[in-house]
Chain A
């Protein structure tokens, strides 16, 4: 395709550059955590940390809340996924979009929204398991609806019809034909919700408080407030081990049972034209509106409430300095937008180079792909802790640049998830045709590849921007100066203090960020096409 000397240089560069980036910003920090968990302590100390009753109860609570979150999310999400896949009705697109909104919201905004609901309804759920579960369901319903619903919609209706023609009742046809295909997808979605809830940070910190500690919040507390790095490191390793084990197990399981090669035939949708169907659809839409709409509505409504009525008081107050915050909330927001832009640009550049490496790099490319997905599984808190350990020695931790760089690392998997398939989809013959017509390799990249992946790059960098805007876990570790104070940190700090005025400002800031991210997601969703599945 291209002269071999050139092509091998390109291959080395496209693998090496992202490998160095990931090595310095993912592998090294994680290794630092690992070595810290062992350094200077004997096995007995590690064992002591692991077997403390406090560790045990934290672990139990972490697993319990994640398990309950996953089950509840499936309980709420499956009927919605089913109805969206089955019925063709006016406003289907709106419901679909609405369901996805919470997933793109920053975790601190999610927590703020749920906080608004509880306060508004005068429910005393503060610091309770119920509050955490509600937030996790609100946040994760999108995963179940998009993954299961997306698959459900492509399930070949003809298989079920074939079974019925062969004499199976509709119920048996479903049980024998559809269920075996759907079940692994449902379990996969459930596992993903479990993992997200397992490593949930902002929500638990805000809604759970110290009494509801999970591994994630404990890593943060031991590292930042108690400065007991060895305990934090051991806990991080426990968490990492569980996440890796579950991810690998899930990947194995999916490979074995999920046959995704067949999403071609479209399942027919039906119109809700009987009373039974209409009632069913109404109930499900009502469920979606309550679960998704109520928190969003409460957030917006509460942000506008002032002492006597409604107004923009809280929004105006964002411009005023507060003793509680090192900078005004508006300045924090501007900083977040700038960080987001920098993170998006960096993630796109590295992401496009890495995508070439992944697609053309052979075995090295596959290793690169695996490493680049690590930030998706590792919690942001563990990553932030790793930066704390790795970069303190280099005195890089004070650099305000570390935050957008860390955000770029967290956003990189999303850029790759978008660009790699686009690059893979380019037929080799297009390259060959262009070469035969006289195009140099560099021109092929510019004239053929770039126009064909441009959309995917924009989409990926948009997601990286949105993630940076809401990133809280790693930022909480790395932000040590006023020039690194971001909007999610401001929301957290405002929410964790008593006082209606501060709460009002937190909610107003949440609405601003939430609206920005939701609009961005809507635009990107349009770019990406309707049938794309999240992640």
Chain B
């Protein structure tokens, strides 16, 4: 059943290149943790070395108090769901789902019952006899999830599980994943480059960059107080300004259009998204600040035209970002 995952100072090298550089992580039993970062940050490597598919240069991985060093992949008690589902093409849907059970030596009747149960759980009741090739992308991904969950692994790992799906399917499957993971109380480690996916599923988020953890914490805390520009940008904050030699952050929700706003900006671009106008402007006037000339992104119910000058009001002062590393000072 659900286990605690402990990762202690793990390093992984590919020849000269360092893929993971001293990563430590404590995932308590039943917690859902998302590891996010741009491609190449080492997040998939982290999953692979937990699975024993990648050797560690140093460090320790423990699952449920058991040190996994020297334990081969097939004895690690894991579930893993791949981005491209990796279903066995020669097996039926139910044979895919019961594969792990059959490895545990469960009886045929048990396998059948459990695989039906899991297929019901992911909303694919009655799909058992179908061939894998006949499934749509979303169905294949659900089968992959059922297959990973069937043996009741101590840890469920999700490697970009929704990456290959279109938006509608993604949202459906995200909701199902959230429900399932919560209901089953399973420890889950979710790896993605999509921060929205991470926020939707996880109760703890880890931001990884070039093999190191930049910041970790509950989603809300991360969103409110990113420690540096990298994290803020990665999480999707549009308003990062240079201010007196440092960077400051103004959440888009704190900016509103007001005739008497203290900041005056010229609208350069606009789009309509999710029921509101999203506008990109360039700051013309901003008394007592260095904001003039910087980009400002804000929302509005009425859409000013490109070239219009608008007054903007900040409902909260921008917050300075701390703990910046030297490489963060260049303007993007």
Contacts and interface: CB of A to CB of B under 8 A. Distances in A.
A317 B89 CA distance: 52
B72 A433 contact: no
A451 B72 CA distance: 24
Interface in A364-396: none
15 contacts: A2-B72, A429-B84, A430-B86, A432-B73, A432-B80, A433-B86, A434-B88, A435-B51, A437-B74, A438-B103, A438-B104, A438-B151, A439-B103, A443-B103, A451-B90
Contacts of A433: 80, 82, 86, 88, 147
Given A437-B147, A439-B99, 8 more contacts: A1-B73, A430-B86, A432-B53, A434-B74, A437-B148, A438-B104, A438-B151, A440-B74
B51 A436 contact: yes
Contact of A4 (B55, B90, B104, B147): B55
A1 B53 CA distance: 5
A452 interface: yes
A273 interface: no
| Main SS at interface, chain A | helix
Given A2-B72, A429-B86, A435 B53 contact: yes
Interface string B252-284: 000000000000000000000000000000000
Contacts of A1: 53, 73
Contacts of B100: 437-438
Contact of B74 (A427, A430, A438): A438
A447 B104 CA distance: 14
B16 interface: no
Contacts, number: 67
A452 B89 contact: yes
Nearest to A450: B90
B75 interface: yes
A437 B151 contact: yes
Interface residues of B, number: 25
Nearest to A448: B88
Kindly list the 4 A-B residue pairs having the minimum CB-CB distance in the complex, ordered from nearest.
A438-B103, A437-B100, A429-B86, A435-B73
A529 interface: no
Contacts of A43: none
B51 A432 contact: yes
A436 B78 contact: yes
Interface of B: 51-53, 55, 72-76, 78-80, 82, 84, 86, 88-90, 99-100, 103-104, 147-148, 151
Residue with the greatest number of chain A CB neighbours at <10 A, chosen from B51, B53, B84: B53
A3 interface: yes
Interface residues of A, number: 21
Interface of A: 1-4, 427, 429-430, 432-440, 443, 447-448, 451-452
B15 to A, nearest CB: 15
A435 B148 CA distance: 12
A432 B72 contact: no
A336 B264 CA distance: 94
A316 to B, nearest CB: 48
Contacts of B76: 436
Contacts of A434: 74, 88, 99
B318 to A, nearest CB: 45
A4 B52 CA distance: 11
Given A2-B72, A430-B88, A448-B88, A437 B103 contact: yes
Given A430-B88, A433-B82, A452-B89, A439 B53 contact: no
Nearest to B78: A436
Contact of B73 (A436, A447, A448, A452): A436
A467 to B, nearest CB: 28
Contacts of B53: 1, 432, 435
B86 A452 contact: no
Nearest to B144: A433
Contacts of B84: 427, 429
A529 to B, nearest CB: 15
